[in-house]
Amino acid sequence: MVETMPVQVVIDHERFFVQGLERLGYRVGDDVVIDEIKAQGDIDRARTELGKYLARKRPDIVVSFATLASQAVREALAGSNIPQVFCVVSDPVGAGLIDEVGRPTNSNITGLVFSLLRQSKMDLAGTLLTQPFPDRPVRIGVVHSSYPAAVNEVKHMASLAAASGQIEFRAYQLEYRAMPDGLNDMLVDVGKGVATLASDIDYWWIVPGPLGETMEFSRMLLDSGVPVGVCHTQWCTRNGGLFFVNPDYVESGFQVARMVDSILRGTDPGSIPPVPPDSFEFGVNLSTAIDLKIVVPSELMELAGEHIWH
């Protein structure tokens, strides 16, 4: 297992992946051995540590978690027949891992796309965020790092927003620094982005990426005086953001385990299409909705289920 960095989404997917293997009958530490490489948010470190590992051992399969680790593994395994299964990668096409979601790669790689819910998120934003502003487009602020997943997400969402005619995206990009060591410096830059955009927007929108995973980043936006309309984590929504929609981490981990099991049993990874998760979670903060004079439709309340906070 090659880990980009120990943010919660990665930690959870790793844990549920291992649980999924155990569910399938594997005895971890007995008939399956898992070696872990931790990149600490640095793709060069991932390349170096993976190179050292491959010089000593030949794994039966490599599972990579998040974009930078997945890119490093893809480079290292190029030209080999060692299978790779990626996970927690929101834009594997933009990251250069695969050519197309949903189509077999005919190579040694497959995986689980972290989220292809862009249109769904935009539709939810159109339903909820526009209610207080019936006579003009809603202005959305996005502070994000130069991490590939974040950059690609902003590009795609801004395109969807422009097509909708209901929403305008205003983005502030800061330099990504390897986490966790670089988090404090990035938060200083986040403060600059907040100061630049806050007076000219109606809501914040938090996009995928290491920065968006942190409570510190969400807290800065929640405390900025501008409401967070679209969160990236449950924590953000529970603590005052309006809504989030994300893959179900438990089921995603199990889905990756089933992919790995299939490959270990002889299925060609190139015949397994990289696909989005089978199930997703939606959550909403009703107190925030009431404060913003937003009515949450009954069908969305039903969809949220237990993920409704006050």
List 203's β-bridge partners, or say none: 140
In eight-state DSSP terms, residue 137 is P
pTM of the model: 0.84
CA-nearest of 239, 49, 220 to 143 is: 220
**Whole-angstrom Cα distance, residue 207 to residue 8?**
15
| 116 band by pLDDT with thresholds 50, 70 and 90 | low
DSSP, res 136: S
Evaluate whether 94 touches 148 at the Cβ level (below 8 Å): yes
Does residue 91 carry a pLDDT above 70? yes
Calpha distance 54→56 (Å, rounded): 5
Tell me whether domains 2-115+249-280 and 118-246+281-309 share a fold: yes
Other Cβ atoms closer than 10 A to 30? 7
Q: Looking at residue 214, what is its pLDDT?
A: 93
Q: Which pLDDT belongs to residue 98?
A: 96
* Helix, strand, coil distribution of the chain in percent, nearest 5: 45, 20, 40
Q: pLDDT at position 90, please?
A: 85
- The CATH number of 2-115+249-280 is 3.40.50.2300
Take residue 260 and report the two structure tokens written for it. 């790995």
pLDDT digits over 244-272, tens only? 998 899 999 999 999 999 999 999 999 99
CATH among 3.40.1050.10, 3.30.450.40, 3.20.20.140, 3.40.50.2300 for 118-246+281-309: 3.40.50.2300
Segments making up each domain of the chain, as ranges: 2-115+249-280, 118-246+281-309
Per DSSP, the three-state class of 129 is coil
Tell me the pLDDT band of 79, cut-offs 50, 70 and 90. Answer: confident
User: 225: part of which helix (H) or strand (E)?
Assistant: none
Task: Give the model confidence (pLDDT) of 182-211 as tens digits.
Answer: 999 999 999 999 999 999 999 999 998 889
